[in-house]
Amino acid sequence: MRTQVGIVGAGPAGLLLSHLLHQQGIASVVVERRSESYVQQRVRAGLLEQGTTDLLRQCGLGERLAAEGLVHEGVLLRFDRCTHRIPLTELTGKTVTVYGQQKVVEDLIAARRAADGTVFFDADEVSVAGVAGDRPVIRAVIEGRPVEIECDFIAGCDGSHGICRDQIPAGVHTQFEHDYPFAWLGVLAKVAPSTDELIYAFHGNGFALHSLRSPEVSRLYLQVDPSEPIENWPDQRIWDELQTRLGTDDGWTLAEGPLLEKGITAMRSVVTEPMQHGRLFLAGDAAHIVPPTGAKGLNVAVADIKVLAEAFASWYAHGNRDRLDGYSQACLRRVWRAQDFSYWMTTMLHRDPDDTDEVLARLQLSRLRYVTESPAAARTLAENYVGYTTST
Ligand code: APR
Ligand code: PHB
């Protein structure tokens, strides 16, 4: 089998790349080790920057997004049992949209199907070879049969546990990694959200976030100890802790409901530099992971794919490799901006378990007051939250 761009991984990054390439007349094959239903049901953060929604609309994926996406013009910070609003749109002219990542994936799969795109789900023994030469290949066992896909290029969109990153030889790339002493327990609850805008709360017991998915479904998170098993968190303990951390003195109440899903995710910052080697290009979580506090993961992945799709288009239309060669450099500025903002939001809002004398907690409260009182500081948060872009 031959294709122009072989894509490993059918998450948002791989599927979007395949879709954008198709629109430029470039052939691709996507190879995914999980089942289609697994990929469609995976619950992930769902906050889209305006740049992300603009791109999805421009490439024909705007219909359900317009119908079901919840457009937000502000975000709420809660501490000392009081709520403070950051007016995102007033400060930046931009909005953010709550739209579950599963919906993005569903829309992309539907678009690939409508265009007869080749996406192999349930692929076993996926491997990649020859990325430093002229004819890289993806090998896999598909429906019990070994398949070899010869490609012009390979896009490694296989997430944080993928195989493509290892194709860049040690010594050629550097992996920057930072672990946080926090994890997030995330729940999906069948209850109308108790808020119209996202609430990020700082509390002595730790961080809490009230997000939403639809008029009937709420998404909530609690900072937990990364070593704590999910069994320690029966549903009522989760609600009690959410009530404590999100509690206010202004009469606001948090409605409880049945939990549809719950899981714990550790928090890490990871960046691989460079994001390319020979004919291999890494994108999305395969190249970098951000802690979820700034909701940047999907947005940075989409930004990578926009640069990569344009670079492939330039190669196939004009035989010009400059943009492919400059891919990593073009992406990394934004990646590090997102890392810094995510780190900043994370350290502002989480209780550090080693902060026994509460010095950090005092500093955090001071920073929160400054961010909510000073228009300059609020604008700094806002312009990063909606997606900071530069022309260089
Ligand atoms: N072979 C084939 N597919 C693989 C392999 C492999 N060896 N390893 C991993 N995959 C698949 C995973 O099963 C997954 O479906 O690659 C896909 C990677 O998708 P994501 O993890 O969703 O990563 P990405 O597409 O980069 O999306 C970034 O995901 O982590 C979230 O919140 C983050 O929103 C961000 C987004
Ligand atoms: C979510 O809705 O899942 C979400 C929102 C904002 C975040 C992280 C996750 O910062």
pLDDT in tens, 226-262: 999 999 999 999 999 999 999 999 999 999 999 999 9
> Do residues 277 and 169 lie in contact, with contact meaning Cβ atoms separated by under 8 Å?
yes
> Do residues 283 and 158 lie in contact, with contact meaning Cβ atoms separated by under 8 Å?
no
pLDDT tens, position by position, 271-287: 999 999 999 999 999 99
Q: Which residue, judged by its Cα, is nearest atom 4 of ligand 2?
A: 45
Radius of gyration of the chain (CA): 21
Structure tokens, 217? 């479904």
Q: Which residues neighbour 176 within 8 Å (Cβ) at sequence distance 6 or greater? A: 269, 270, 271, 272, 273
> 163: Cβ below 6 Å to ligand 1?
yes
Q: Tell me what the pLDDT averaged over the chain comes to.
A: 96
Distance 140 CA to ligand 1 centre (A): 17
For the whole model, what pTM was predicted?
A: 0.96
SS3 label, residue 21: helix
pLDDT tens, position by position, 330-362: 999 999 999 999 999 999 999 999 999 999 999
pLDDT surpassing 90 at residue 10: yes
Question: Which positions are annotated as active-site residues?
Answer: 72, 200, 292, 296, 385
pLDDT surpassing 70 at residue 391: no
Task: Say how many C-beta atoms besides its own lie within 10 A of residue 305's C-beta.
Answer: 26
**Helix, strand, coil percentages for the chain (3-state, nearest 5):** 40, 30, 35
Cα distance between residue 122 and residue 276, in whole Å: 26
- What percent of the chain is modeled with pLDDT above 70? 99
Q: Which residues neighbour 376 within 8 Å (Cβ) at sequence distance 6 or greater? A: none
Distance 284 CA to ligand 1 centre (A): 8
Dihedrals φ, ψ of 2, to 5°? -125, 145
> Which residues on neighbouring strands pair with residue 159, listed in sequence order?
none
Q: Residue 302's closest CA among 338, 267, 344?
A: 338
> Do residues 332 and 44 lie in contact, with contact meaning Cβ atoms separated by under 8 Å?
no
For residue 261, the ligand closest to its alpha carbon is 2
Cα distance between residue 212 and residue 47, in whole Å: 10
> 164: Cβ below 6 Å to ligand 1?
no
Cα distance between residue 183 and residue 160, in whole Å: 16
| DSSP summary character for residue 229 | -
* Residue to probe by mutation, ligand 1, list 16, 17, 32, 296, most atoms within 8 Å of CB: 32
For residue 36, the ligand closest to its alpha carbon is 1
Cα distance between residue 310 and residue 306, in whole Å: 6
> 284: Cβ below 6 Å to ligand 1?
yes
pLDDT surpassing 60 at residue 186: yes
pLDDT surpassing 80 at residue 390: no
> Do residues 308 and 17 lie in contact, with contact meaning Cβ atoms separated by under 8 Å?
yes
Structure tokens, 251? 């009469």
Quick one: pLDDT at residue 368?
Answer: 98
| DSSP summary character for residue 275 | S
Across the range 83-98, mean pLDDT stands at 97
pLDDT tens, position by position, 299-333: 999 999 999 999 999 999 999 999 999 999 999 99
Q: Which atom of ligand 2 is nearest to the CA of 47?
A: 5
Helix (H) or strand (E) holding 26: none
Location of structure tokens 């288009």: 313
Q: Which residues neighbour 205 within 8 Å (Cβ) at sequence distance 6 or greater? A: 241, 244, 245, 351
* Residue to probe by mutation, ligand 2, list 99, 182, 200, 211, most atoms within 8 Å of CB: 211
Quick one: pLDDT at residue 306?
Answer: 98
Quick one: pLDDT at residue 182?
Answer: 95
Quick one: pLDDT at residue 41?
Answer: 87
Quick one: pLDDT at residue 187?
Answer: 97
Half-sphere CA count of 272, side-chain side, radius 13 A: 26
Half-sphere CA count of 321, side-chain side, radius 13 A: 5
Quick one: pLDDT at residue 317?
Answer: 96
Location of structure tokens 């994926």: 61
pLDDT surpassing 90 at residue 164: yes
| DSSP summary character for residue 173 | B
Location of structure tokens 């789900």: 121
Dihedrals φ, ψ of 140, to 5°? -160, 165
Quick one: pLDDT at residue 392?
Answer: 43
pLDDT surpassing 70 at residue 378: yes
Q: Residue 219's closest CA among 255, 248, 252, 190?
A: 190
> 12: Cβ below 6 Å to ligand 1?
yes
Distance 305 CA to ligand 1 centre (A): 13
pLDDT surpassing 50 at residue 184: yes
Q: Grade residue 46 by pLDDT with cuts at 50, 70 and 90.
A: confident
- Say if strands 199-201 and 75-79 run parallel, antiparallel, or are unpaired: parallel
